[in-house]
Amino acid sequence: MRKWHRWLSVAFGVVLLWIAITGALSQVVPMYLDATLPKAAPAAQADGKPAFVCPPDYMCRPKPKEGDPRAWIGTLHHLHSGESFGPVGVVIATLAGFSMIFFSFSGLWLYISMWRNRKERNLKPGWFWR
């Protein structure tokens, strides 16, 4: 198992780093932009009522205009999901997601097996060791 864990981590490490960075940016950028952009006044109809009222449980945003920094949010999503690279990118992003599941279970399995091995040899007990 250790050999598979090591080799797959080399193969998928770069892709997982890409997914982690673009995923984090796709969450942080909207928070930053919402705090820095001025709030627009709601449009009014001829009779003075608002043209659109956002439902209370939703956060409504207008579609970004050309040159608006909020357009980066969609680009980040496409980079994160692999859609920018076509069907091959989506397949690689999906495989990277499956590899994260594999790394979680295999890493836990490796840790437990090393912990049991140390316990059987009567070495230093504990959760962390050098």
Residues whose CB is less than 8 angstroms from the CB of residue 92 and which lie 6 or more positions away in sequence, other chains included = 15, 82, 85
Tell me, yes or no, whether 11 lies in a domain. Answer: yes
Note down the domain range covering 30.
1-34+67-113
Q: Judge whether 59 lies within some domain.
A: no
In this prediction, residue 1 carries a pLDDT of 72
pLDDT in tens, 51-65: 667 777 776 766 767
pTM for the whole structure:
0.55
In whole angstroms, what is the distance from residue 22 CA to residue 79 CA? 7
In a domain, 86, yes or no: yes
Going 88 to 93 to 96 to 98, the CA torsion angle's sign is negative
Kindly report, residue by residue over 56-107, the tens digit of the pLDDT. 777 676 676 777 767 777 788 888 888 888 999 889 888 888 888 888 888 8
34 Cα distance to chain centroid: 19
**Number of folded domains in the chain?**
1
Average pLDDT, integer, range 112-116: 83
Structural tokens at position 121: 């040899």
